[in-house]
Structure 1
Amino acid sequence: MGPSLPHDLSGSTGASAVVQSLGGPLEGGTVARLHIEHAITDLSTWVEAFNRFEQARRDAGVTSQQVHQPVDDEQYIVVDLDFGDDEAAIGFKEFLEQVIWQTPDMSPGLAGSPRARILREVRTAP
């Protein structure tokens, strides 16, 4: 049986989420990744705001995080947050959409509308 098609879990803010029903990389388990991309006003302001929510990420179950910036676009950021399961990732995505991204005071450095997707790793080798 092949993988199921992604299920749209779009929130009211227009950000989209995709959950793929595929096995994860851990023995018998899965990892859900919240992948976020958005434009920023400037990196230092964004990093300061991101760092303010370190405890919130930890409390939400983030097990790993990576932040990248395209080499050709200093006004853009890409964030990957890993969770132990889909529910934790979905819950944190909703927190971002309904609380953090709703006001400039909560998300300084953010420019435009973020795009957030929830992903699971795809096994490509037997």
Structure 2
Amino acid sequence: MITLQIEHQVRDFGMWRRAFDSDPLDRLASGVRSYRISRPLDQNDYVMLEMDFDTQEAAVDFLGRLQNDTWKTGVTAPALVGEPSTRIIETVAIENVSAR
């Protein structure tokens, strides 16, 4: 599994979440299989997002579209503070420790 990790500070989590939920890049059609939204317990203005893809190419394409369309002039731009930090990673193992 290939995952696009994104971390960034936001002006307001509710504003960011509404923009994210509007799905301007059509996650399903773009190959996103699932996603997780997290934030530090003591930092309500910071978001960590992980989006899973079947292929590296789909993740790279989606990231490029985010950088060109959404972060600079799109619906989520007003909610962001500074530049997001991104990376594409590959899951190499998943283990359920409670099953041991």
TM above 0.5 = yes
Q: TM-score, normalised by structure 1?
A: 0.69
Amino acid at match of 2:82: G
Query: Structure 2 regions of 5+ residues with no counterpart?
Result: 96-100
Are 2:4 and 1:34 equivalent residues in the alignment?
yes
Residue equivalent to 2:75: 106
The one-letter amino acid of 2:90's match is R
* 2:21 equivalent among 19, 35, 51: 51
Give me the whole-angstrom Cα distance separating, in 2, the residues matched to 1:61 and 1:124.
21
Bigger RCO (CA 8 Å, 6+ sep)? 2
Per the alignment, do residues 57 and 49 of structure 1 end up closer, same or farther by CA in structure 2, a change over 3 Å counting?
Answer: same
Equivalents in 2 of 1:68, 1:75: separation in Å? 11
Q: Percent same amino acid among aligned pairs?
A: 33
Superposition CA RMSD, Å: 1.7
Number of residue pairs matched by the alignment? 94
- Displacement of 1:106 in angstroms is 2.3
Instruction: Name 2:67's counterpart in structure 1.
Output: 97
Cα displacement (A) at 1:123: 3.2
Task: Give the gaps of 5 or more residues in structure 1.
Answer: 1-30
Alpha-carbon separation, structure 2, partners of 1:97 and 1:62 = 16
Output the amino acid matched with 2:29.
D
